[in-house]
C-alpha cells in the first residue's frame, strides 16, 4: 500500500475511533446481538493485546454456548455484548495462543483443514510460487485451479520440509481449552467444485477430525466465506449444526445457523482498528463506499448509453463540433 494511502487510512481509523461510533454501536446495537470475529494467524503479542481489550469491552462466549442457546433445549441466557472469537485454518502459530486462552479464560474456536493439520502439507494460497494472486485463482473452477497450481509444482498432498498447520500433539494439548471445528479437507473454493468434490470436502473433514481426535464437529467454516445453497444442503446432510461465513453483520436468535455472520480482524491490527472492526463500523463503512462506487459505475454506464443515442456530431456552446 502506498505511503499516502497508509497515511489516509491511519487518519480515518483515528477519526472513527475518537468519533465515539464504535462505543455507540457497541452499547446500542451489539448489546443485544452476538458478534463473531474471525482472525487467522496472529502473533502472540498482538493476540494478547486483542484479548485483553476485547475482554474489557465485551462478554466473550464460546461458539458452543451460542449453539446451545439457539437450540433452546436448555435455559441459557447470553450476556449482553456477547462476542465469539474464531480463527480459520489451524495455522501452526495458533499453538502460541493456548497460554493466552488460559490467561484470559477465552473459549476460542479454531477451524481446521483436516487434510493439512498433522502433516507437512501447505495451504495452497500461501504457496510462494503462485503464478498469480490467490484471489484470482479463487475465481476459476477447482479443476483449473489445481491444474495451474500443478504447473508450478504444487498439489494438495505434497509434503514440504516444514509444517504450516498444527500437529496432533499440539491439537491434543489444546483441545481442553480450544473448540476445534471443521474447515474442509484442503481449503478449496467450494462453489467452484463439482458436486462430488464439494460434498467430499465438507463431509470428509468432519469424519476425519472426529475419528482422529475424538472431537464433536458440529460447525463448518466455509473456506474464503464462499458458499451457495448447495453447500448449505451438503453441510446439513453431513450432520453439521451450523456454518460461519465472512458476511459482515451481527447475529441473534433468528440468524440462519448456516449463514452466521463474522467480522474480519487483521492479524496485525492496532487496538484502534480492532475497536473499529469489532464494532462493525469498519465493515459498514466499506459497504457504503463499495455501494457508492457501484453507483458511480452505474452512472458512468448510463451516461455512456446516453451518449450512444446522440448524433455522431454534438455541438458545444463554443460552436466547435466534437466527435463522440
Which pLDDT value is given to residue 294?
Answer: 73
Q: What is the pLDDT of residues 246-261, one digit of tens each?
A: 999 999 999 999 999 9
Which pLDDT value is given to residue 220?
Answer: 98
Residue 287 pLDDT level (bands cut at 50, 70, 90): confident
Rounded average pLDDT over 276-292: 90
Q: How far apart are CA 90 and CA 198, in angstroms?
A: 20
- pLDDT for residue 221 is more than 50: yes
pTM for this one?
Answer: 0.89
- pLDDT for residue 303 is more than 80: no
Class (C level, CATH) for 3-121+159-279 = alpha beta
More confident residue, 130 or 239: 239
Which pLDDT value is given to residue 310?
Answer: 45
* Nearest-10 crossing angle of helices 271-279, 281-309: 70
Which pLDDT value is given to residue 324?
Answer: 28
Which pLDDT value is given to residue 316?
Answer: 36
Q: How far apart are CA 183 and CA 136, in angstroms?
A: 21
Give the 3-state secondary structure of residue 38: strand
Q: What is the pLDDT of residues 64-79, one digit of tens each?
A: 999 999 987 666 789 9
Buried b (16+ CB within 10 A) or exposed e, 148-175: bbeeeebebeeeeeebbbbeeebbeebe
Residue 219 pLDDT level (bands cut at 50, 70, 90): very high
Q: Which residues pair with 89 in a beta bridge?
A: 112
The pLDDT mean for the chain works out to 91
- pLDDT for residue 320 is more than 60: no
Residue 319 pLDDT level (bands cut at 50, 70, 90): very low
Rounded average pLDDT over 52-75: 92
- pLDDT for residue 304 is more than 90: no
Rounded average pLDDT over 67-94: 92
How many C-beta neighbours within 10 Å does residue 128 have? 7
Which pLDDT value is given to residue 176?
Answer: 94
Residue whose entry in the numeric block shows the C-alpha cell 482472525: 39
Q: How far apart are CA 95 and CA 169, in angstroms?
A: 10
Q: What is the pLDDT of residues 161-201, one digit of tens each?
A: 999 999 999 999 999 999 999 999 999 999 999 999 999 99
The pLDDT > 70 percentage for the chain reads 89
Rounded average pLDDT over 28-54: 98
Residue 6 pLDDT level (bands cut at 50, 70, 90): confident
Which pLDDT value is given to residue 311?
Answer: 44
More confident residue, 305 or 251: 251
Write out the E strands in the chain: 34-39, 59-60, 82-89, 109-112, 179-182, 219-221, 242-244, 263-264, 313-315, 321-323
Beta-sheet pairing, 179-182 with 109-112: parallel
More confident residue, 168 or 5: 168
Domain with CATH 3.20.20.370 in the chain: 3-121+159-279
How far is residue 317 from each of residues 22, 43, 249, 304, 314, measured CA to CA in Å?
51, 63, 51, 21, 10
Rounded average pLDDT over 233-250: 97
Amino acid at each position: 500500500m502506498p505511503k499516502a494511502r497508509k497515511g489516509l487510512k491511519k487518519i480515518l481509523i483515528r477519526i472513527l475511533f475518537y468519533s465515539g461510533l464504535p462505543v455507540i454501536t457497541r452499547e446500542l446495537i451489539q448489546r443485544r446481538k452476538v458478534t463473531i470475529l474471525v482472525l487467522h494467524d496472529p502473533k502472540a503479542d498482538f493476540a494478547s493485546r486483542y484479548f485483553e481489550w476485547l475482554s474489557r469491552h465485551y462478554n466473550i462466549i464460546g461458539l458452543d454456548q451460542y449453539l446451545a442457546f439457539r437450540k433452546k433445549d436448555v435455559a441459557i441466557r447470553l450476556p449482553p455484548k456477547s462476542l465469539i472469537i474464531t480463527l480459520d485454518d489451524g495455522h501452526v502459530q495458533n499453538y502460541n495462543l493456548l497460554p493466552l486462552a488460559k490467561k484470559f479464560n477465552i473459549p476460542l474456536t479454531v477451524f481446521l483443514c483436516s487434510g493439512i493439520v498433522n502433516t507437512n502439507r501447505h495451504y495452497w494460497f500461501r504457496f510462494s510460487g503462485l503464478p498469480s494472486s490467490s484471489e484470482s485463482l479463487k475465481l476459476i473452477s477447482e479443476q483449473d485451479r489445481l491444474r495451474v497450481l500443478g504447473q508450478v509444482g504444487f498439489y494438495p498432498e505434497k509434503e514440504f520440509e516444514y509444517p504450516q498447520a498444527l500437529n496432533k500433539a499440539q491439537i491434543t494439548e489444546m483441545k481442553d481449552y480450544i473448540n476445534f471445528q471443521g474447515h474442509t479437507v484442503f481449503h478449496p473454493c467450494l462453489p467452484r467444485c463439482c458436486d462430488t468434490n464439494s460434498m467430499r470436502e465438507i463431509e470428509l473433514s468432519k469424519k476425519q477430525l472426529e475419528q482422529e481426535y475424538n472431537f464433536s464437529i458440529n460447525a463448518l467454516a466455509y473456506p474464503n466465506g464462499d458458499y451457495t445453497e448447495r453447500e448449505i444442503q451438503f453441510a446439513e446432510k453431513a450432520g453439521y449444526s451450523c456454518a460461519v461465513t465472512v458476511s459482515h453483520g451481527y447475529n441473534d436468535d433468528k440468524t440462519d445457523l448456516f449463514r452466521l455472520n463474522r467480522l474480519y480482524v487483521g492479524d496485525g491490527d492496532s487496538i484502534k482498528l480492532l475497536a473499529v472492526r469489532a464494532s462493525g463500523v469498519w465493515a459498514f463503512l466499506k459497504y457504503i463506499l463499495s455501494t457508492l462506487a457501484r453507483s458511480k459505475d452505474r452512472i458512468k454506464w448510463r451516461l455512456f448509453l446516453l451518449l450512444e443515442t446522440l448524433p455522431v456530431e454534438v455541438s458545444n456552446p463554443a460552436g466547435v463540433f466534437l466527435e463522440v
